[in-house]
Every structure is written in C-alpha cells, then in structure tokens.
Copies of this chain bind each other. A is one copy, B any other.
Amino acid sequence: MTTFDNVTVVKKANIYFDGQVSSRTIQFADGTEKTLGFMLPGEYTFGTCAKEIMEIMAGELDVLLPGSEQWQSIKAGESFAVPADSKFDIKIKTPTDYCCSYIK
C-alpha cells in the first residue's frame, strides 16, 4: 500500500464540474504539492499554472494535450505531462483515480 508520509492534508475538497471531479491537496515538507483526485465519466477542460504530471491509478481516459491534434488513450498505471500555463481536454471513460504533481 503506497502512502505519503509526514504530509499535510487540506481538509476540504477541491470541487470542480458540480462534483464530477474532486481532489484533495497534499502538502509536502519540501514545499511541493500534489493533489489526489477522482473524476467521474464526462468531458472536461482543465487549465494549468505549473507543469503537471498526471499519474492515473485507476480508470481509463483519453487526453488531448496542448499542441496535439491526436487524442491519447491513458489507463491505470500510465502517466502524462501537461506544460505550464496551458489547457488540456480530457474524456473520462471509467471512474478515474489520479495523483497530480505540480512541477515548479
């Protein structure tokens, strides 16, 4: 069972798209943050500030990354990166558990 140890967790959820997407913010001692999130089936567009690495722990989705014209299929055990200050589109096919790391 993989855990994050000695971290701070923000109690309230981050809620998007009427709750179809929700996440929890995890703060690490080195000042970095990750979110652990959950997405229900649907199509969503997200914007990034920092570069993001999205690790998919459960579920299946298609993602259209900025600058790409081709959707990529991503499933549990796979990851994708999104540049800073950009937008990406995502089609969630089955309920998706993810860990998002913010790279500064």
Binding site for B on A (CB under 8 A): 1-13, 15, 18-20, 22, 24, 26-27, 36, 38, 40, 57-58, 95, 97, 99
Contact = CB atoms under 8 A, between A and B. Distances in A.
Copies in the complex: 2
Say whether chain A's binding surface is mostly helix, strand, loop, or mixed.
Answer: strand
Contact of A99 (B2, B6, B11, B15): B11
A4 B8 contact: yes
Contacts of A19: 38, 40, 95
Given A22-B97, A24-B24, A38-B22, A8 B3 contact: yes
A10 B27 CA distance: 14
A91 to B, nearest CB: 15
